[in-house]
């Protein structure tokens, strides 16, 4: 009989075939020393992701179509909470590591997080989760964790204790479309009496320029989700002057994990560097140029434009 996993890895994905392949290869390497399972929930990808996942015999694949039509009717759109809960409820591990399909674990992160969990459980019970430090590569240099309302730690990428997930009935599926549901989940775990601690030896590389999953209005959804979140947790907002912050630490990855991102990721990095360099050059020129500098004919811009 197969041994039950100690840790379950849950990942949501949609139309990121190259990125999910890199993420799964990375997770397989990091999970190898531990009894584990890997669960991917796909939103009905059309780029070959589903076919790839179904061919991976060590991956539990859940396909929940979230776009298009069926029998002449549009499919109902599901929330992020709905999708991640499919994986959470399927997970058999005592610990559940949540990652995105555009993330890579820095070597040693899982081992460090599991060790910290055991230490924290011995010193003080009711550990609900371990937050990993992460950075949005290549935009950021340092790694960060999120302190949300009331300065409580939130898990963007990291490990949940399954007991804590069950105690709060998992992620809120009904009130958040895409944003804020992970922070809400962390706060409800805290509200139930569990602790979330950050692991300063666990790092995640999150690709900031992976292709967008969806074409719907992210800004509108973000504003809607933020309004609900602020209302839901308004009793915590007054505890501190600020609403949230992102404590960060510096770390140099000797394994150069970011090199495992797909080629499209490298192209995105080059494009990002070019745009940033162009903006820096433009700012430099504007700083050195007076607002009405004379042109070669001796007239200022105001004169040429008839001002």
Q: What's the pLDDT tens digit per position in 17-37?
A: 999 999 999 999 999 999 999
User: Over the range 11-38, which residues count as b (16 or more CB within 10 Å of their CB) and which as e?
Assistant: bbbbbbbbbbbbbbebbeebbeeeebbb
What pTM was estimated for this model as a whole? 0.84
Q: Are strands 59-63 and 36-42 parallel, antiparallel or unpaired?
A: parallel
Chain centroid to Cα 142, Å, comes to: 16
Fold of 7-207+218-261: Spore Coat Polysaccharide Biosynthesis Protein SpsA; Chain A (3.90.550)
**Ramachandran quadrant class, 63 (left: phi over 0; alpha: psi -120 to 50; beta: rest):** beta
Q: Provide the residue ranges of all domains of the chain, joining segments of one domain with +.
A: 7-207+218-261, 269-304
Q: How many CB atoms lie within 10 A of CB 225?
A: 21
3 state SS of 162: helix
Question: Measured between alpha carbons, how far is 124 from 140 in angstroms, rounded to an integer?
Answer: 34
Q: What is the reported pLDDT for 173?
A: 97
Residues of the chain with pLDDT under 70: 212-217, 239-244, 264-307
Q: What is the reported pLDDT for 269?
A: 52
Task: State the burial class of residue 112 (Cβ atoms within 10 Å of its Cβ: 0-12, 13-18, 19+).
Answer: middle
Give me the percent of the chain exceeding a pLDDT of 90: 75
Tokens 């042109």 belong to: 295
Q: What is the reported pLDDT for 294?
A: 35
Q: What is the reported pLDDT for 238?
A: 73
Q: What is the reported pLDDT for 22?
A: 97
Q: What is the DSSP letter of 82?
A: H
Q: pLDDT tens-digit profile of 108-154?
A: 999 999 999 999 999 888 999 999 999 999 999 999 999 999 989 99
């Amino acid at each position: 009989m197969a041994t039950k996993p100690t840790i379950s890895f849950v990942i949501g994905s949609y139309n990121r075939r190259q990125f999910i392949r890199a993420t799964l290869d990375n997770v397989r390497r990091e999970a190898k020393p531990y009894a584990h399972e890997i669960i991917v929930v796909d939103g009905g990808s059309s780029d070959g992701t589903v076919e790839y996942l179904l061919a991976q015999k060590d991956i539990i694949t859940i396909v929940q179509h979230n776009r298009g039509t069926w029998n002449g009717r549009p499919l109902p759109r599901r929330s992020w909470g709905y999708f991640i809960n499919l994986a959470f409820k399927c997970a058999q591990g005592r610990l559940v590591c949540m990652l995105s399909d555009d993330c890579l674990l820095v070597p040693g992160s899982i081992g460090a997080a599991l060790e910290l969990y055991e230490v924290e459980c011995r010193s003080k019970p009711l550990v609900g989760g371990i937050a990993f430090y992460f950075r949005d590569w290549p935009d950021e240099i340092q790694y960060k964790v999120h302190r949300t309302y009331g300065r409580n730690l939130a898990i963007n990428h990291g490990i949940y204790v399954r007991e804590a997930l069950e105690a709060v009935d998992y992620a809120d599926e009904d009130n958040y479309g895409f944003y804020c549901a992970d922070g809400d989940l962390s706060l409800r775990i805290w509200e139930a009496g569990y602790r979330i601690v950050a692991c300063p030896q666990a790092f995640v590389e999150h690709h900031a320029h992976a292709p967008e999953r969806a074409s719907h209005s992210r800004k509108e959804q973000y504003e809607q989700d933020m309004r609900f979140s602020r209302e839901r947790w308004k009793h915590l907002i007054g505890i501190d002057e600020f609403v949230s912050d992102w404590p960060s630490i510096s770390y140099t990855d000797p394994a150069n994990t970011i090199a495992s991102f797909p080629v499209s990721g490298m192209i995105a990095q080059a494009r990002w560097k070019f745009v940033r360099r162009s903006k820096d050059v433009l700012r430099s020129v504007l700083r050195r140029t007076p607002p009405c500098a004379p042109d070669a004919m001796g007239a200022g811009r105001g004169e040429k434009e008839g001002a």
